[in-house]
Chain A
Amino acid sequence: MSKYSVIGQRVHRVDGPDKVTGSAKYTFDMVLANMLYGKILRSPYPHAKILNIDTSKADKLIGVKAVVTAKDTPGRKQGIWRRFPELCDETILCGEKVRYIGDPVAAVAAIDEDTAEEALDLIEVEYEPLPAVFDPLEAIKEDAPQIHEGVELNMNVTRHIEWGDVDEAFKKCDHVREDKFKCSSQAHVCMETHDAVASFDHGGKLTMWTSTQSSYYIQRLLADILDLREGDIRVIKPPTGGGFGSKFELDSAQFCAAVLSMKLCQPVKIVLTREEEFTATKRRTPMYYYLRLGAKKDGTLLAKEVRVITEGGAYTAMGATALYLTGFFSSFPYKYPNYRYDGYRVYTNTAPTSAMRGFGAPQSTFTGESQLDMLAHDLGIDPIEIRRKNGMTPNYVVPGQATIQSCGLHECLDAIEEHIKRRGELPPNRGIGVAAYGFMSGGIFNWFDTPYAFSAALVRVNIDGKVDLFTGACDIGQGSDTTLSMICAEELGVHLDDIRIHASDTGICPADLGAWGSRETLMNGNAVKMAAADAKSQILQFAAAKMGANIVYDLDIKDQWVHLVDRPERGVSYFDMVKEAIRGRDGEVIIGRGHYTPHRKGMISPAYSFGVQAAEVEVDPETGRYKLTNVTTAHDSGTVINPVGIEGQLEGAIMMAGGYGFCEDQPMDEGNILNPSIADYKLIRSLDMPECEILEIETYEPEGPFGAKEAGEGLTNPTAGAIGNAIYNAVGVRVNDLPITPEKVFRALREKERQSKQP
């Protein structure tokens, strides 16, 4: 029997009824009085000087209320890197130069979208095309076009991680492998495209409703770039149709809507089209990977060397963090006594690359897990066994980087090994591949002024016992509203439907850095738990006096019952106690406060989830076509708060990560993305989904609320690697270049045939 009343229960989402009935109002649905509609003019060139912009014809079009260009902005460069201003390299609207096809140049506000669209065609921009470069290995050459002034070799960031003595360790290895990989781009493809409604009033206050992962960051970034005080900006996140890393930086819809609204003192709404979503928003970072891995003949890993060049695109965005994290997670989830990573981010004249679910870890897991399987094959060691031999364990310290507290990796390996045994002998051309991973539960880092990430929450207990929970956390579809409400209810001792959550409105909610790096459950969950505990203690102080026990008894609240812990039958209804407590305070409601700041928790995160995934494929050796038939994941996310939520996260992760391994890509021609529509961009759809099974491995994470860790982003890491290993297991060929398309498998099979015929 569970010790929890709410935690671990299968509940529907608190926002579920509104969403499934269509009554949830997204930014996309918003209409305000006097609202205008905005559109953005974008560069058709990958690299060009702007010689002149003539908006006179557009200004005269009936229905157009304003046209803005760079000269209508304060001219500041924006970026989340307040502590590293050299990485803030993007202007709202380009004034001197454009750096990728899609770079914003002007914006229009009009009475309707069609008029705004027509006005764009009337804006005349004179460009001087410049030489452009699209591949990072070309962009770092001394004679390559310089994309940002003063940035030599177009290399804007390098990152290095090292411990032990890698060079000496390789000399002691019995076997060393060197392999190269190429990891592709990927689009976020959120259901809801980037959108914003900005309303600037005559009092100088800006309100913005926007689809975002962090109303906190958007508020502050708008203040920086618009030269407003943060307190004069209110950012509200309505229900949001997905983020996946694309929506915690300022985007063109947000800043253009704000600039137009400030000029007109009228609300302006901008909704990006699906084509703009593909071509003019950030995307997953493509990477060239070089790996060297050394081991003893018994499979003990001694050394790993990693070198990565990333295609940065035109601006930094969050790409510098992806560069660091891919190097950090290249060391996961194994104990490497000696490790070295050198990462280089290089500007190119392509759409900027930035954060996407996994944040560099899907790339490192694909390359690392593929190479580890290759090493295991070379040494004649079972793939599960080599992972077991080297896998992280609880309390392991990653030198200079992190301390792993809870770790269920070995239990996950055991569970997957059992699963593979149960699948039995497979028919020809069918194979199972495994991949293991670990991932952070919230990043320690904060790109802003303070050195630590933080979360805060407020709990207000009303006179009728109902509870208002205020938090800056952002539910972007991952279910944090539900998870946090469950944590609040459990801690306070009430039911889930006693909680009403108010989230991600900077006007009324305390700060939270937002939904990225899988931080909401652990970081905001801890803040919510603390706030609920604070409120509960105030109720119990009153209860202790009221109940007048004549010896020391501890009191608690559970299932809406205030009681003596050792005599639970002696108690009072929570609702009655709250009413009396508030009456006793002259009607002042009970407020609980909570916050969480991860002090002294290493370089990356206070806690890590772990898992092992087994992917099963069936390959047609004549054509290279293959089908993903089963994906089973053993997952350690600490205590499971919401089992239904985890199942949804898993299935969504398989869809996204499977797509990354199997079919998703953004091929370009001279910087022009060739498939900017859902019809042409290949996604895994419902009919392509494999059987999915989750084997939950429960551990207890001391850092997490009720022992919980992240469950959602880590699950995107292993699938591409598991697919690659499964294809090798099925037909004996390996593809090191994502996505692993049928064409690549076909070519690999023909090459294998050709080689087998050679004497």
Chain B
Amino acid sequence: MSYHCPVCNKVSSTAMDLARHMIGRGDKVHRDWISAKGFKFSELLTMQFRSFGGEGYKALAEVLEEETKVED
């Protein structure tokens, strides 16, 4: 099972890893995809600098779990 980035097709082994990648890229196309799902990109990013635990990633990962999973 793997997860393919809906923007650049990078393959990750878990939805959490994919969420880290998409927030990490931070460019407009990745941000726009995240915003279209109802998230505020800036909140997800600043959470990374204000607390540990990856709470922002978890919320995005739940969406990615549904939308980007590919059975190998």
The answer to whether A344 and B26 touch across the interface, beta carbons within 8 angstroms, is yes
> What chain A residues lie within 8 Å of B41 (beta carbons)?
153
Task: For the complex of A and B, list the 6 residue pairs with the smallest distance between their C-beta atoms, beginning with the closest.
Answer: A342-B24, A167-B17, A140-B42, A158-B26, A178-B52, A141-B42
> What chain A residues lie within 8 Å of B14 (beta carbons)?
167
The answer to whether A344 and B27 touch across the interface, beta carbons within 8 angstroms, is no
Give 7 CB contacts A-B under 8 Å.
A140-B46, A141-B43, A153-B31, A153-B42, A158-B25, A290-B49, A342-B25
Contacts A142-B40, A158-B27, A290-B48 aside, 17 further interface pairs with beta carbons under 8 A come to A140-B42, A142-B42, A152-B28, A155-B26, A160-B24, A160-B25, A160-B26, A167-B17, A167-B20, A178-B52, A288-B49, A290-B49, A307-B48, A340-B24, A342-B24, A342-B26, A344-B26
Q: Give the Cβ gap from A406 to chain B, nearest Cβ, in Å.
A: 33
Q: Give the Cβ gap from A346 to chain B, nearest Cβ, in Å.
A: 10
Smallest CB-CB separation from A180: which chain B residue?
B49
Bitwise interface map of A from 501 to 517 toward B, beta carbon under 8 Å scored 1, else 0: 00000000000000000
Q: Give the Cβ gap from A179 to chain B, nearest Cβ, in Å.
A: 9
Interface residues of A (CB under 8 A from B): 137, 140-142, 152-153, 155, 158, 160, 167-168, 178, 180, 288, 290, 307, 309, 340, 342, 344
Smallest CB-CB separation from B24: which chain A residue?
A342
In the bound assembly, the distance between CA atoms of A140 and B31 in angstroms comes to 12
Chain A interface SS verdict (over half): strand
Bitwise interface map of B from 20 to 43 toward A, beta carbon under 8 Å scored 1, else 0: 100011111001000000001111
In the bound assembly, the distance between CA atoms of A340 and B41 in angstroms comes to 20
In the bound assembly, the distance between CA atoms of A307 and B45 in angstroms comes to 10
In the bound assembly, the distance between CA atoms of A307 and B21 in angstroms comes to 12
> What chain B residues lie within 8 Å of A168 (beta carbons)?
13
Residue B12 interfacial (CB < 8 Å): yes
> What chain A residues lie within 8 Å of B26 (beta carbons)?
155, 158, 160, 342, 344
> What chain A residues lie within 8 Å of B45 (beta carbons)?
140, 309, 344
In the bound assembly, the distance between CA atoms of A141 and B50 in angstroms comes to 14
> What chain B residues lie within 8 Å of A137 (beta carbons)?
46, 49-50
Q: Give the Cβ gap from B26 to chain A, nearest Cβ, in Å.
A: 4
In the bound assembly, the distance between CA atoms of A142 and B13 in angstroms comes to 31
Smallest CB-CB separation from B17: which chain A residue?
A167
Interface residues of B (CB under 8 A from A): 12-14, 16-17, 20, 24-28, 31, 40-43, 45-46, 48-50, 52
In the bound assembly, the distance between CA atoms of A409 and B43 in angstroms comes to 41
In the bound assembly, the distance between CA atoms of A178 and B48 in angstroms comes to 11
In the bound assembly, the distance between CA atoms of A503 and B41 in angstroms comes to 50
In the bound assembly, the distance between CA atoms of A104 and B18 in angstroms comes to 45
> What chain B residues lie within 8 Å of A152 (beta carbons)?
28, 31
**Do A307 and B25 contact each other (CB < 8 Å), given the known contacts A140-B42, A153-B41, A167-B17?**
no
**Do A307 and B49 contact each other (CB < 8 Å), given the known contacts A141-B42, A155-B26, A158-B25?**
yes
Q: Give the Cβ gap from A146 to chain B, nearest Cβ, in Å.
A: 13
**Do A307 and B13 contact each other (CB < 8 Å), given the known contacts A140-B42, A140-B45, A344-B45?**
no
> What chain A residues lie within 8 Å of B50 (beta carbons)?
137
Smallest CB-CB separation from A170: which chain B residue?
B17
> What chain B residues lie within 8 Å of A309 (beta carbons)?
45, 49
Q: Give the Cβ gap from B51 to chain A, nearest Cβ, in Å.
A: 9
> What chain B residues lie within 8 Å of A290 (beta carbons)?
48-49
Smallest CB-CB separation from B28: which chain A residue?
A152
> What chain B residues lie within 8 Å of A140 (beta carbons)?
42, 45-46
In the bound assembly, the distance between CA atoms of A342 and B21 in angstroms comes to 9
> What chain B residues lie within 8 Å of A342 (beta carbons)?
24-26
Q: Give the Cβ gap from B38 to chain A, nearest Cβ, in Å.
A: 13
Smallest CB-CB separation from A341: which chain B residue?
B24
Q: Give the Cβ gap from A382 to chain B, nearest Cβ, in Å.
A: 27
In the bound assembly, the distance between CA atoms of A141 and B43 in angstroms comes to 7
> What chain A residues lie within 8 Å of B12 (beta carbons)?
167
> What chain B residues lie within 8 Å of A142 (beta carbons)?
40, 42
In the bound assembly, the distance between CA atoms of A168 and B16 in angstroms comes to 11
> What chain A residues lie within 8 Å of B42 (beta carbons)?
140-142, 153
Q: Give the Cβ gap from B27 to chain A, nearest Cβ, in Å.
A: 6
Smallest CB-CB separation from B53: which chain A residue?
A178
> What chain A residues lie within 8 Å of B17 (beta carbons)?
167
> What chain A residues lie within 8 Å of B13 (beta carbons)?
167-168
Query: Which of B16, B40, B43, B45 has the most chain A CB atoms closer than 10 A to its own CB?
Result: B45
In the bound assembly, the distance between CA atoms of A213 and B4 in angstroms comes to 47
In the bound assembly, the distance between CA atoms of A152 and B27 in angstroms comes to 10
Q: Give the Cβ gap from B23 to chain A, nearest Cβ, in Å.
A: 8
> What chain A residues lie within 8 Å of B31 (beta carbons)?
152-153
In the bound assembly, the distance between CA atoms of A153 and B34 in angstroms comes to 14
> What chain B residues lie within 8 Å of A288 (beta carbons)?
49
> What chain A residues lie within 8 Å of B40 (beta carbons)?
141-142
In the bound assembly, the distance between CA atoms of A60 and B15 in angstroms comes to 69
Smallest CB-CB separation from B26: which chain A residue?
A158
In the bound assembly, the distance between CA atoms of A137 and B43 in angstroms comes to 9
Q: Give the Cβ gap from A89 to chain B, nearest Cβ, in Å.
A: 17
Q: Give the Cβ gap from B59 to chain A, nearest Cβ, in Å.
A: 17
> What chain B residues lie within 8 Å of A307 (beta carbons)?
24, 48-49
Q: Give the Cβ gap from A583 to chain B, nearest Cβ, in Å.
A: 66
> What chain B residues lie within 8 Å of A141 (beta carbons)?
40, 42-43, 46
In the bound assembly, the distance between CA atoms of A158 and B29 in angstroms comes to 13
Q: Give the Cβ gap from B9 to chain A, nearest Cβ, in Å.
A: 15
> What chain B residues lie within 8 Å of A344 (beta carbons)?
26, 45
Q: Give the Cβ gap from B72 to chain A, nearest Cβ, in Å.
A: 16
In the bound assembly, the distance between CA atoms of A178 and B53 in angstroms comes to 10
Smallest CB-CB separation from A343: which chain B residue?
B26
Query: Which of B12, B27, B40, B42 has the most chain A CB atoms closer than 10 A to its own CB?
Result: B42
Q: Give the Cβ gap from A196 to chain B, nearest Cβ, in Å.
A: 38
